[in-house]
């Protein structure tokens, strides 16, 4: 399965207008093409840019940032999962700390996405949460303690080791993403060497002096880590 | 001001996939072109289709269904008002019964949209709410008692007269939209004759045997009502 | 451990004013006294009546209906777990379909309640949810598909068997409550014989012609089921 | 009307356990008795303590911190307005920054409270919000910019003057409470002299070295201000 490769997720959240979104996605797409045999690159986007990303960039996996548990029908300003599939979106985040979901809603969202063939990246805020989410059998679990988001502080070694071990034990099919406070290529390397399947970044890239270079450096650091690990 | 013309809002909510969205928007756009001296036509859409509607159809006013009160920055699956402006969206619904906002959030959303030049269509669920919302000075107030949404039952004459009168008295600059249960061209005609500045429809169109014809009939009924009223 | 006995939960939700709350709690308390060696009886209540129930009735386990994840400090109209403990409340519902919690919030709520020695009754809306919640190691999991709440329709045999089996397998320490649509003493009997550790009722009691008698009949049916099962 | 007297609201939010709640409420009650011809004193409380406050202290106006828009019936951990009335609660906060309400919900809450004879204290976060809330005709509007809550910083003179003037103009029947950052008896005096009908305090009292003395000093400062103003 293609999604089982190591991966990097560029998640610009709501930081960027259209022009910067396209420019950085192009960089990501070129890297995704270059390293397509080794890694996957995901780019998330507010819904407003999703269609254009899907149409312009064929090597990245374009990802939504949230879906709602509604069917085609009523609902104003909500995200019907079918509409993502309809335009070619391949993945979605779920339960991000900035868009939390009830456990009932999350359970149904993972199931609905699976039915539609949409890859699920589910955020877990603690060890207990990661263990619980693993039972839903999502494609990727992102372990990121809320209190570290946007701080540039990485999770400490013991937290990473512990969540890695607990998720592997609970569900060996799920990919593990560790991404708290990633702010340099070195952080990326270290995280992969510690056993994560993937990592990613928001503010470390969009607030960098040279976002394109930082994105490139991080992805290349991931590729190097994957090679060194094997 | 262009927005002061009588208007029709086609609000397909979350009923449609991309193909139907484009097909019905094309019908709306042709009508908007034909009657551009007499009325305005708005088409709302989930964010995922907004860019394409803006790019393809120059005569309709493309409208979002909700905005969030966040700045460019953090936020997953949220709608930053600047991003709508950035791609050319002209209007947005606010406080729809299917996406209610706190009074604090609504107050700021109207202000933020105004700063960006985005037309605001604010939903009011009761007479008390309409009076309160009028103080925010939005462009359009939609009077639609929640219990009638999607029922095909129109507001009774006294409700329409009363909300019209209270909003006119509270704020003579705001346009009044009456749209509860509009399900035929006749409903459109009657509503305008009773004094509304505009009307609109969701299920009456998307669930019609022939949605394109229903949309056309309703718009032409609006045009006739406007002429007859003068 | 005392809480490991079979149990009945009378959950009047928000149906009752003070007088009826006290009257029915008295019935529950007399039954709890009479059968104290065989079963536990819980009575839930809006916070406004909790102190009086704790003070007046020593045999029932008085239970809150929700707690919030806040510390003593700011918060208006929220429920600080410490305040429940402070007045002697013994248990709390969590994640009820009528007060859903994010997975992060639920995880912390169970942990906080445990630290304070408050028994946790966590609601699960589906099999997937029950499996996930079992990882939090709550005291009781209530299996109740949302669509059956208040309908008087009981979960079918296969649903009960399946959730029982999955929870037992995931966590043998948790007590299982099956309570969807319990509306007669017979339903209580059947549910316990099918393997649940406990059951309970809302509308079947408060809307009965004779609520006190119905409560008594249900509890005695539970006692009989427990005896017959052994 | 009794509620038209100048007033002080001691709002301990969720800071206190039962013992401290009763001790400080006793101080408030003694002051309320002493100055009953001149001012009203309100004490808010989490629901868990309301009944005891009502039963023990006859001179203070016991106030809830929030109500929900539900009828007697379903609802777990919600606050049915009737239950407050049933036990003798006289007032309630609405739309506090720490428990915001949709405009629809707020509109109905004010109306429901009025029907039940419960005094409404509605929080407004901005000048626009205050103007809008005045149309609901609540008993008291609390003007408190969210960003100043708990900071010990008072609203500046121009903000107080402007909100006072806008509310008086919009609705001469509503009482005006200015309470941002009140942390000393001097702040109380100044606020009343600037034209507010009442004021109140949370952290300035509960975090004071001597909370009882601070409460007493503030109330006596209010009494002095009222006398000096006349």
Rounded percentage of chain C residues whose pLDDT exceeds 70: 99
Q: What is the pLDDT, as a whole number, of residue C105? A: 96
Cβ of B136 within 8 Å of Cβ of D133? The answer is: no
Q: Is A85 on the interface with B (CB under 8 A)?
A: no
Q: Are strands A140-143 and A175-178 parallel, antiparallel or unpaired?
A: parallel
Q: Is B165 on the interface with D (CB under 8 A)?
A: no
Q: Could you give the CA distance from residue D15 to residue A68 in angstroms, rounded to a whole number?
A: 36
Q: What is the pLDDT, as a whole number, of residue D145? A: 84
Q: For B165-185, what is the mean pLDDT?
A: 94
Cβ pair C144, C182 in contact under 8 A: no
Q: Which residues of C70-100 are buried (b: 16+ CB within 10 A; e: fewer)?
A: bebbbbbbbbbbbbbbbbebbbbbbbbbbbb
Q: Are strands C61-64 and C91-94 parallel, antiparallel or unpaired?
A: parallel
A145 is written with which tokens? 């303690």
Cβ pair A107, C126 in contact under 8 A: yes
Task: Report yes or no on chains A and D touching (3+ CB pairs under 8 A).
Answer: no
Question: Where residue B30 falls among pLDDT bands split at 50, 70, 90?
Answer: very high
Cβ pair B167, B180 in contact under 8 A: no
Cβ of B15 within 8 Å of Cβ of A73? The answer is: yes
Name the neighbours of D, counting chains with at least 3 Cβ pairs within 8 A: B, C
| pLDDT single digits (tens) C81-123 | 999 999 999 999 999 999 999 999 999 999 999 999 999 999 9
Q: What is the pLDDT, as a whole number, of residue D22? A: 98
Residue B73 backbone class (left: φ over 0; alpha: ψ -120 to 50; beta: rest) = left
Q: Could you give the CA distance from residue A78 to residue B99 in angstroms, rounded to a whole number?
A: 8
Cβ pair D86, C17 in contact under 8 A: yes
Residues 6+ apart with CB under 8 A from C214: C185, C201, C204, C205, C208
* Dihedral sign (CA C102, C107, C108, C110): positive
Least confident of C72-81, D130-139, D147-156: D147-156
Cβ of C128 within 8 Å of Cβ of A105? The answer is: no
Cβ pair B105, D126 in contact under 8 A: no
Cβ of A76 within 8 Å of Cβ of B65? The answer is: yes
| Dihedral of the alpha carbons of B47, B53, B59, B64, in degrees to the nearest 10 | 0
H or E element: which one contains D10? strand D7-10
Cβ of C129 within 8 Å of Cβ of A103? The answer is: yes
Q: What is the pLDDT, as a whole number, of residue D150? A: 74
Cβ pair D92, D50 in contact under 8 A: no
Cβ pair B85, B117 in contact under 8 A: yes
Question: Where residue D2 falls among pLDDT bands split at 50, 70, 90?
Answer: very low
Cβ of C18 within 8 Å of Cβ of D96? The answer is: no
Distance from CA of D150 to the nearest CA of C (A): 9
Q: What is the SS3 string spanning B114-159?
A: HHHCCEEEEEECCHHHHHHHHCCCCCEEEECCHHHCCCCCCCCHHH
Distance from CA of B135 to the nearest CA of D (A): 6
Could you tell me which chain C residue has the CA closest to the CA of D63?
A: C77
Q: Which residues of D92-130 are buried (b: 16+ CB within 10 A; e: fewer)?
A: bbbbbbbbbbbbbbbbbbbbbbeeeebbbbbbbbbbbbb
Closest CA to C101 of C127, C124, C75: C124
Question: Where residue D153 falls among pLDDT bands split at 50, 70, 90?
Answer: confident
Name the neighbours of C, counting chains with at least 3 Cβ pairs within 8 A: A, D
Q: Could you give the CA distance from residue C145 to residue C121 in angstroms, rounded to a whole number?
A: 15
Cβ of A104 within 8 Å of Cβ of C111? The answer is: no
Residues of A in contact with C107 (CB under 8 A): 125-126, 128-129, 132
- Residue length, chain B? 230
Q: Is B128 on the interface with D (CB under 8 A)?
A: yes
- The values of phi and psi at residue A143, to 5°, are -95, 110
Cβ pair D26, D58 in contact under 8 A: no
Name the neighbours of B, counting chains with at least 3 Cβ pairs within 8 A: A, D
Cβ pair B37, B66 in contact under 8 A: no
Q: Could you give the CA distance from residue C26 to residue C60 in angstroms, rounded to a whole number?
A: 9
**DSSP class of D90:** -
| pLDDT single digits (tens) A121-151 | 999 999 999 999 999 999 999 998 877 777 7
Q: What is the pLDDT, as a whole number, of residue C2? A: 43
Cβ of A99 within 8 Å of Cβ of B80? The answer is: no
Q: What is the SS3 string spanning chain C?
A: CHHHCCEEEECCCECCCHHHHHHHHHHHHHHHHHCCCCCEEEEECCHHHHHHHHHHCCCCEEEECCCCCCCCECCCCCCCHHHHHHHCCCEEEECCCCCCCEHHHHHHHHHHHHHHCCEEEEEECCHHHHHHHHCCCCCEEEECCHHHCCCCCCCCHHHHHHHHHHHHHHCCCCEEEECCCCCCHHHHHHHHHCCCCEEEECHHHHCCCCHHHHHHHHHHHHHHHHHHHC
Q: Is B152 on the interface with A (CB under 8 A)?
A: no
Cβ of B76 within 8 Å of Cβ of A84? The answer is: no
Residue with tokens 């990592």: A199
Alpha carbon separation from C221 to B225, C88, C192 (Å, rounded): 68, 29, 9
| pLDDT single digits (tens) C28-38 | 999 999 999 99
Which of B103, B108, B149, B169 is the best mutation test for D, with the most CBs of D within 10 A?
A: B103
Q: Could you give the CA distance from residue A182 to residue A47 in angstroms, rounded to a whole number?
A: 25
Residue with tokens 């998307």: B206
Cβ pair C81, C113 in contact under 8 A: yes
| Dihedral of the alpha carbons of C144, C145, C146, C149, in degrees to the nearest 10 | -60
Rounded percentage of chain C residues whose pLDDT exceeds 90: 90
End-to-end CA distance of chain A: 19
Q: Could you give the CA distance from residue C59 to residue C54 in angstroms, rounded to a whole number?
A: 9
Q: Could you give the CA distance from residue B203 to residue B11 in angstroms, rounded to a whole number?
A: 9
Q: For B45-58, what is the mean pLDDT?
A: 98
Other beta carbons within 10 angstroms of residue A115's beta carbon come to 11
Q: Could you give the CA distance from residue B99 to residue C15 in angstroms, rounded to a whole number?
A: 28
H or E element: which one contains D179? none
Closest CA to C172 of C221, C134, C115: C134
Which of D14, D123, D206 is the best mutation test for C, with the most CBs of C within 10 A?
A: D14
Burial class (CB in 10 A: 0-12, 13-18, 19+), C155: buried
Q: What is the pLDDT, as a whole number, of residue A2? A: 43
Question: Where residue B1 falls among pLDDT bands split at 50, 70, 90?
Answer: very low
State whether residue A143 is helix, strand or coil: strand
The shares of helix, strand and coil residues in chain A, as percent rounded to the nearest 5, are 45, 15, 35
**DSSP class of A155:** P
Distance from CA of B105 to the nearest CA of D (A): 9
H or E element: which one contains A42? strand A40-44
What is the value of ipTM here, to two decimals? 0.93
The structural domains of chain C, ordered by start, are 7-229 (3.20.20.70)
| pLDDT single digits (tens) A182-194 | 999 999 999 999 9
| Dihedral of the alpha carbons of A174, A178, A179, A185, in degrees to the nearest 10 | -120
Candidates D14, D52, D83; nearest CB to C17? D83
C113 is written with which tokens? 């309640």
Q: Could you give the CA distance from residue C95 to residue C103 in angstroms, rounded to a whole number?
A: 9
* Dihedral sign (CA A122, A128, A134, A136): negative
Task: Report yes or no on chains D and B touching (3+ CB pairs under 8 A).
Answer: yes
Cβ of C100 within 8 Å of Cβ of A102? The answer is: yes
Q: Is B93 on the interface with A (CB under 8 A)?
A: yes
| Dihedral of the alpha carbons of B173, B174, B175, B178, in degrees to the nearest 10 | -140
State whether residue B171 is helix, strand or coil: coil
Cβ pair A79, B64 in contact under 8 A: no
Q: Is D97 on the interface with B (CB under 8 A)?
A: yes
Is the per-residue pLDDT at B2 higher than 50?
Answer: no
Q: Could you give the CA distance from residue B45 to residue D160 in angstroms, rounded to a whole number?
A: 42
Alpha-helical runs (H) found in chain B: 18-34, 47-56, 81-87, 103-116, 127-134, 157-170, 185-193, 203-206, 211-229
| pLDDT single digits (tens) C191-230 | 999 999 999 999 999 999 999 999 999 999 999 999 999 8
Cβ of D102 within 8 Å of Cβ of B111? The answer is: no
Q: Which residues of A121-135 are buried (b: 16+ CB within 10 A; e: fewer)?
A: bbbbbbbbbbbbbbb
Q: Could you give the CA distance from residue C9 to residue B140 in angstroms, rounded to a whole number?
A: 51
Is the per-residue pLDDT at A153 higher than 90?
Answer: no
Q: Counting runs of H as helices and runs of E as strands, what totals does chain A give?
A: 9, 8
Closest CA to A144 of A181, A186, A175, A107: A181
Residues 6+ apart with CB under 8 A from D195: D160, D161, D164, D176
Q: For A74-99, what is the mean pLDDT?
A: 96
| pLDDT single digits (tens) B86-106 | 999 999 999 999 999 999 999
Question: Where residue A114 falls among pLDDT bands split at 50, 70, 90?
Answer: very high
Per the prediction, chain D carries an average pLDDT of 94
Distance from CA of A154 to the nearest CA of B (A): 18
Is the per-residue pLDDT at C128 higher than 80?
Answer: yes
Cβ of C13 within 8 Å of Cβ of D74? The answer is: yes
Q: Could you give the CA distance from residue C83 to residue C85 in angstroms, rounded to a whole number?
A: 5
Q: What is the pLDDT, as a whole number, of residue D176? A: 97
């Amino acid at each position: 399965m293609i999604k089982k490769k190591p991966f990097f997720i560029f998640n610009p959240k709501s930081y960027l207008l259209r022009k910067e979104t396209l420019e950085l996605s192009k960089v990501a797409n070129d890297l995704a093409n270059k390293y397509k045999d080794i890694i996957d690159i995901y780019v998330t986007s507010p819904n407003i840019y999703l269609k254009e990303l899907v149409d312009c960039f064929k090597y990245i996996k374009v990802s939504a940032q949230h879906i709602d548990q509604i069917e085609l029908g009523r609902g104003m300003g909500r995200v019907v999962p079918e509409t993502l599939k309809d335009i070619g979106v391949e993945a979605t985040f779920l339960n991000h700390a900035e868009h939390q979901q009830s456990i009932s809603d999350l359970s149904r969202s993972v199931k609905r996405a699976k039915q539609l063939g949409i890859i699920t990246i589910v955020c877990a805020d603690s060890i207990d949460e990661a263990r619980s989410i693993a039972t839903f059998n999502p494609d990727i679990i992102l372990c990121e303690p809320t209190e570290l988001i946007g701080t540039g502080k990485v999770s400490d070694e013991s937290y990473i080791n512990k969540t890695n071990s607990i998720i592997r034990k609970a569900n060996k099919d799920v990919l593990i993403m560790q991404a708290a406070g990633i702010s340099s290529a070195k952080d990326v390397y270290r995280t992969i060497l510690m056993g994560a399947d993937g990592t990613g970044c928001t503010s470390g890239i969009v607030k960098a002096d040279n976002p394109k270079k930082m994105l490139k450096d991080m992805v290349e650091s991931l590729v190097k880590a994957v090679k060194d690990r094997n």
